[in-house]
Amino acid sequence: MQNILSVQSLTKKFDDFTAVKDISFNVETGSIFAFLGPNGAGKSTTIKMLTTVLKPTSGKISINGFNVLKEQDQARASFGIVFQDPSLDEELTAYENIVYHAVIYKVPKKERDERIKKALEIVGLWNRREDYVKNYSGGMKRRLEIARALVHYPKILFLDEPTVGLDPQTRNSIWSHIRGLNKEKGMTIFLTTHYMEEAEAVADQIAIIDHGKIIESGTVEEIKKRTETQSLEEAFLKLTGRDIRDDNIGDKTRKRRGIRRRIRH
């Protein structure tokens, strides 16, 4: 099988703090790949580099055969993304947001209306399409972002904690649709989530990142076997420890506050 995404020695530094340290991995075309890790591990930073939002400090990325750093437009045309943090225009209606997306992603005019309708129906927002996004609930906004990413059938879809804050009904409906897209259209899915049972249920391949480094990767079965655990959640806890992360404190602050950084390998 071919790799739709290939990452080599990817590193990102924010001032003197290294958020992503020299990671390398491949994602097979047509697979579902889960990128897991505790808060602040570097998942979103990695996704932002993969999707041209952030410039890597060093390293190579290729998506669908295009060099993400040099052939940005071709790479951009190959992926879709649902960011972790909000990215909707609240002063527009849901429908206007999604039309905007369809146009800038060059969805053929003939197919536009139908695809938009379908995407909004999947997330149950078709009847609320004329509402302003600012009047939506948090979960509705999230559903709209997911629907939006589904209108331009990308080759690879990045989902950064897509189902956070959603009710179980919606989560089920979204995952079953995403799996459908994966099976029928061969769309590769790259996701992050903190719900281990979701990852266990959908992912073909898993990589676990902690403190900016990939510490484990493989199929769910392989990881469970290697860690001698019964579930992905146990394996995850065993690999990453049970401490809560001092999220959002960079090295600089740590030094300034005199907090000694726990060093792990």
Partner 1 sequence: MIEVIYILWLRQLKHYWRSKPRLLGSLGQPLLFLVTFGFGFGPMYASASGGGNYLDFLAPGIVSMSILFTAVFSGLEVIWDRQFGFLKETMVAPISRTEIMIGKTLGGATIAMIQGLIVLSLTYVLGFRILSLASLALGLVFMFLIAIFFTGLGLAIASMMKDMQGFQLIMNFLIMPIFFLSGALFPLENLPKAIYFISRIDPLTYGVDGLRGAIAGMSTFGVFNDLVVIGLLSVLVCTVGAFLFSKVEA
Ligand X SMILES: Nc1ncnc2c1ncn2[C@@H]1O[C@H](COP(=O)(O)OP(=O)(O)OP(=O)(O)O)[C@@H](O)[C@H]1O
Among 30, 32, 40, 163, binds ligand X (CB under 6 A): 40
- Of 89 and 113, nearer to partner 1 (C-beta) is 89
Start-to-end CA span in the chain (Å): 32
Helix (H, G, I), strand (E, B) or coil at 198: helix
Q: How far apart are CA 9 and CA 22, in angstroms?
A: 4
- Of 68 and 82, nearer to Mg ion (C-beta) is 82
Among 17, 105, 153, 175, binds partner 1 (CB under 8 A): 105
Q: Which residue in the block uniquely carries the two structure tokens 């709209």?
A: 144
Longest CA pairwise span in the chain (Å): 61
Closest to 162 measured CA to CA, from 190, 131, 201: 190
- Of 44 and 51, nearer to Mg ion (C-beta) is 44
- The residue length of the chain stands at 265
Q: Is 165 in the site for partner 1 (CB under 8 A)?
A: no
Token duo for residue 124: 């149950």
- Of 152 and 211, nearer to Mg ion (C-beta) is 211
Q: Is 162 in the site for ligand X (CB under 6 A)?
A: no
Q: Is 42 in the site for ligand X (CB under 6 A)?
A: yes
- Of 160 and 216, nearer to partner 1 (C-beta) is 160
Q: Which residue in the block uniquely carries the two structure tokens 């079965």?
A: 221
* Contact present, 231 and 239 (Cβ < 8 Å): no
Q: Is 77 in the site for partner 1 (CB under 8 A)?
A: yes
CB of residue 109 to ligand X, shortest distance in Å? 37
Sign of the alpha-carbon dihedral angle for 143, 146, 152, 153: negative
Within residues 208-237, the interface with ligand X by CB under 6 A covers none
Closest to 178 measured CA to CA, from 144, 149, 140, 205: 149
Q: Is 142 in the site for ligand X (CB under 6 A)?
A: no
Token duo for residue 132: 């302003």
Task: List interacting residues with partner 1 (CB under 8 A).
Answer: 51-55, 73-74, 76-77, 81, 83, 85-92, 96, 99-101, 103-106
Q: What residues make contact with Mg ion under the rule CB under 5 A?
A: 43-44, 84
The contact set with ligand X (CB under 6 A) reads 14, 17, 19, 37, 39-45, 84, 247-248, 250
